[in-house]
Amino acid sequence: MLPLPGGREASAGAPRYTRHRPERRLLYQHVRECHPAFTAHLSAQGTVLPSYVEREFGASLKCGRLEHGFVRVR
């Protein structure tokens, strides 16, 4: 058994959690870099994205980032 914090033990065959790092993914980087310019371009043309699309862009940029909170499930 492997020791865990709090005096618990884990079996040797238990899978270990590895946090995914969205900020390292190409799609995440592209959206983060291009989204402000894209919305500025739309604004210059007198149009905007639907609010649900803006919400999804915002949510996708927060997803998986520890500074926006996390949940530990066991």
Give the tens place of pLDDT for each residue, 61-74: 888 777 777 776 76
Q: Which secondary-structure segment (H or E) carries 10? A: strand 9-10
The per-residue pLDDT of the chain, averaged, comes to 82
C-alpha 51/C-alpha 53 separation (Å) is 5
Tell the residue number behind the tokens 């862009």, with chain if given. 57
Residue 73 is which amino acid?
A: V
Based on the structure, what is the number of domains in the chain? 1
pTM to 2 decimals? 0.58
Q: Is residue 5 in some structural domain? A: no
54 in a domain, yes or no? yes
How far apart are alpha carbons 30 and 61 in whole angstroms?
11
pLDDT > 90? residue 34: yes
In-domain check, residue 74: no
The pLDDT score that the predictor gives to residue 14 is: 72
Expressed as residue numbers, the domain containing 55 is: 20-62
How high is the pLDDT of residue 69? 74
In-domain check, residue 29: yes
Residue 38 lies in a domain: yes
